[in-house]
Amino acid sequence: MTSTTPASAGHHTEGPATIGDVPGAPATARAERLVRRVVGGADSAPVQMRAPFTGQPIATLPQATDADVRAVFDQAREAQRAWAERPVEDRQRILIRLHDLVLKRQEEALDLVQIEAGKARMDAFDEVSATALVAAYYGKHSAKILSPRRAAGLIPVLTKVGEIRHPKGVVGIISPWNYPLALTAMDVLPALAAGNAVVQKPDNQTALSALWLQELAEEAGLPAGIWQIVLGRGSQIGDALVEESDYLCFTGSTPTGKGLAAKVAERLTSYSLELGGKNPMIVLPDADIAKTATGAVTACFSSAGQLCVSVERIYVHESIREEFTRAFVAKTAALRLGGALDYQAQMGSLTSEAQLETVSAHVEDARSKGAKVLTGGKARPDLGPLFYEPTVLTDVTEDVKLFAEETFGPVVSIYGYTDVTDAIERANDTQFGLNASVWSRNGRAGWEVAARLKAGTVNVNEGFAATFGTVGLPMGGMKESGVGRRNGAEGLLKYTEAQAIAVQRGMPLRPGRGIPPRLWARGLSAGLKALRRLPRR
C-alpha cells in the first residue's frame, strides 16, 4: 500500500509491513519451531526481538550462559569425530541438497530476512542467491581442494612427500546482524565441508535466519549436533566461545575484532576476522554516466548501506563531476522506500536504533560543518521507526565525522579530483581496506587502477556483487578491515591443519658409517646444484 503521509521530495514510499501470518512472526509455527532449535538458555533471561519495519515483536529468544556454551562445545567435539571420518564426497552431497532446498524454499527465507533485518526484498534475495552459490561451490569443489597434494621430495625417487589436511575440530563462528543468511553460509558451510563441527553465535536480531538455514541443512542430511547455535551477549558468552574454539571466525566491528584477536592469541589458536570498511568508488573521466550513476545507487544503498562492502565515498573526475552528480542524485531521490513483504520497495529500513542514531548523528555533524545535503538527510518515522532516506552529501571536509569514520548506513559523500593518482591516494588514505569500486569504459584502465587500490576486493564497473558473488575468489580485508579470507580455496583451507608427510627410502640423509662428514657435505652440495636445474624444483 502507499503511505498516506507525504513523502520527502522525490522519494516514492510503501507503507509498513503488517506482521501477521508471515514466517517469523509471533505465534506462527515456524518461528516457534526455529526458536526451539536454540541451545541452552534455561538459566538466563530471554530477549525479545522486534521487527525493524514496525517495532512489533518478532520472537522471544532464549539466551545461553557461559556454562551452556561450554557444554555445547563438549557435545560438538564428540559429534565431530564421526563427521570428520565421513568421506568428503558425502559432505559435498549434503551441500548440494542444501543448495536445492534453499532455492526451493526461498520465500520463507525472504520473509524472515525482511522481517528481522528490515531489508527490501531484492536485497533479501541477494542473501538467498549468495547462500545457494556458496553451497554449490563447496558442494562441487571441496573434495578437490582438500585432496592430498604431492610435491617433489628432497631426493628424486628416494624421497616421497605429500600434504594432507585435517579439520581443526570445533569452529566457533560469531555472525553479524546485517547479512544473517549469506554470511552464515559463507562461514559455516566451508567449515562443515572441511570436516569440522560448528558452534555459531548469530546476532539476536537476526537469529531466525541462521536457525532456518541450520534446519534446512539437517533436512539435507547434516547429522544433528554437528552445527549448533547459541544466543547471548558477547559479555556473557564471549569468553567461552574464544576459549573453547579450535578456530574462531568473526565478522563485525574493528574494535571488537581486535579485542577477540588479543584473546585468541593467548591460546595460540587460529582465527579470521572481517571487520569495518570505508569503501571508495573512483569514477574515471571516460565512465558511462548513466550506467555509473545506476551502479552507484546499488553500491551505496543496498540493504540501506548496512553492508560491509558498500560504498561510502565517491571520487569523480572534475570533467564529469557535475553531470554525474546530477544523474546520481536524481536516481537516489527516485528510490522507492517501504517495508512490504514484496518486491515493490527498492530500499528498506535500518535494522536497529543504534544504526539510526549513528546515521542521524553523522549527517547532522556534516551539515553543521558546512556539508551540503543534495538529497535525503532525514529519518522517515511516517514509514516506520527505523527508516532513513538515502542521502548524498558534498563539500564534506576532513573535520566531519563521516569523512573517515564508517557510517554503515544509506549515506555517501561525493568528492572531485583532477589527477587519477591523487584519487587513488585519497581512496587509500584510510585505516580500512575492505572493498573498492572503479568505473571506466576501458576495462584495462579500470583494472590498472583497481590494482593500485589497497582493498581486499575491487570491482570494475560494479559496486561489490561481482567479487561477492564469485565464490571461487577470496574475500576479505587489508589493513584494519580484517585478517584472513572467506570464499574460494582459502575460505575452506583455513578451517584445516596442513600436515606434511615424507617417506624416505634407500639413501639416508646423514653420512653412513665410514663416510667422512666433509666428503658427504661436498657430495650433497654437488647434488643440490644439480637439483636446482631440474624442472619442478
| Catalytically active residues, by annotation | 274
Cβ neighbors of 249 (< 8 A, separation 6 or more) are: 171, 172, 173, 174, 187, 191, 271, 272, 486
Phi and psi at residue 515, to the nearest 5°: -100, 120
What are the cell numbers at 341?
513483504
Locate cell 587513488: which residue?
A: 424
Tell me the C-alpha distance between 48 and 35, whole Å: 12
Residue 282 in contact with residue 427, Cβ under 8 Å? yes
Phi and psi at residue 321, to the nearest 5°: -60, -45
Tell me the C-alpha distance between 431 and 429, whole Å: 7
Which residues in 314-345 are b (16+ Cβ under 10 Å) and which e? bbbbeebbeebbebbbebbbebebbbbbeeeb
Tell me the C-alpha distance between 129 and 109, whole Å: 11
Local structure of residue 364 (DSSP, 8 states): H
Residue 175 in contact with residue 160, Cβ under 8 Å? no
Q: Identity (one letter) of the amino acid at 328? A: F
Query: What CA dihedral angle connects 258, 260, 265 and 266, to 10 degrees?
Result: 130
Neighbours of 81 (CB within 10 A): 11
Local structure of residue 178 (DSSP, 8 states): S
Residue 150 in contact with residue 114, Cβ under 8 Å? no
Cβ neighbors of 431 (< 8 A, separation 6 or more) are: 254, 404, 479, 480
Local structure of residue 223 (DSSP, 8 states): P
What are the cell numbers at 287?
565512465
Residue 460 in contact with residue 453, Cβ under 8 Å? no
Residue 79 in contact with residue 225, Cβ under 8 Å? yes
Q: Where are the alpha helices (DSSP H) in 9-105?
A: 29-35, 66-85, 88-104
Neighbours of 98 (CB within 10 A): 28
Rounded CA Rg of the chain: 26
What are the cell numbers at 149?
597434494
Find the distance separating the first CA and the last CA of the chain, reported in whole Å. 69
